[in-house]
Structure formats: C-alpha cells, structure tokens
Amino acid sequence: MDCRVVVEAAIPVYDVATPDEAIRIAISKTGEMLNPDLSYVEISMGSRTTPGGEELPPAFVAADEALVALELEMTVFNVEQEEHASRIARKEIGQRLENVPLKVLTVERIPEDEENGEDGQGEEDEPDDAGDAGSDGSSSEDGTASGSAETDADDEDLIPEFDDLLEDN
C-alpha cells in the first residue's frame, strides 16, 4: 500500500519584518535543506486558527524573528500500515530538518487506480517487465534476453576473440 503523508513543521526565521517575508524565507530555507535528497517533498504554507475558529497567518513575527508553520507532503511507497508510513515520513524529513519540530497531520491511503497513474502503467509494473526477458529467467544487464542465436552472432562481430587479436599483430 502507498500513502500520502502531510507533516507540519515549525520553521524558525530570523531578521524579518512581515509575515509574508517570513513565509517566503521559510519556504526557501526548507527547500534548500530538503534538496536534492528529498526533492519530491511538496512544501506549502500551513494553516493556523484561533480557538474561536478565526484564520491566522502561518507566520508569527515577534522582535524581528518568526516561527512559520509549513506543511510538507510526501508519498511513501510499499508500507503495511498508515502508522508505518507516518514514521518513515517523519524520519526522512526529520533527518534533513535538524532541530525543527515536526507533527504528522494526515496519512491517507492512495487508491490502487491512482498508484498506476493515468495511463494505466505504474512504477510497480516496470521491474516485472525487465525480469521476464528470458524463459529461463536469464537476462543481460541492459534488460534484453540472452542466449538467442542472433544476439550471440552480434557479440562475435563486435568483440574479436583473443586469438584473432594475436594473429593480427
């Protein structure tokens, strides 16, 4: 099963005057920390509300320092439970964002038809295609079947035998 996990992160930002500036800097700073290893993590502004339900900006600015709430979305593949997916996402993101508090907001299963993509061919189908190259299970490094007469004849033309090389000299 594959899951989409959304994690909330509290990103500290320094020397800012407005919440908008703090949000821009926090997104940029987070992107730098995650890339290139976790370039597939989507970064967006988080949402905050008061106990009365009133919307607040995702950044709190005080004394030219801000704490920005960001949501980091990541897809975790081949897990057995939703709890396992949340632990994997927290670990992967947490390793790159040192000293940043994280909280798992949502974990949702990805339906089977969405896993396979819109064209009907999913990532899980690709390894099986390469493994079915020969009837005896043998395949070469480039994924083509080995053992056919045509392939052996081509190999002989491309690479001369050792004895032939010695005769030429």
Instruction: At 21, list the tokens.
Output: 């500036």
Segment 32-60 shows an average pLDDT of 90
Q: For residues 158 and 29, which has the higher predicted lDDT (pLDDT)?
A: 29
Residue 164 pLDDT: 66
pLDDT average, residue stretch 87-94: 94
How many angstroms separate the CA atoms of 47 and 16, rounded? 20
92: pLDDT strictly greater than 80: yes
Per-residue pLDDT, 105: 94
Look at residue 42 in the predicted model and tell me its pLDDT. Answer: 93
* Stronger pLDDT, 144 or 52, i.e. the higher one: 52
Of the candidates 164, 159, 5, which has an alpha carbon nearest to the alpha carbon of residue 81?
A: 5
Instruction: Flag whether pLDDT at 152 surpasses 80.
Output: no
The pLDDT value given to residue 115: 52
For 94-132, the pLDDT digits (tens) are: 999 989 999 999 999 998 775 555 444 444 444 444 444
100's tokens: 């940043």
Kindly tell me the sign of the dihedral angle through the C-alpha atoms of 22, 23, 29, 30.
positive
Domains, the chain, in order of start with CATH, read 3-113 (3.30.70)
Q: Residue 38 — pLDDT band, cuts 50, 70, 90? A: confident
Question: Average pLDDT over the chain, rounded to whole?
Answer: 78
What's the whole-model pTM score? Answer: 0.64
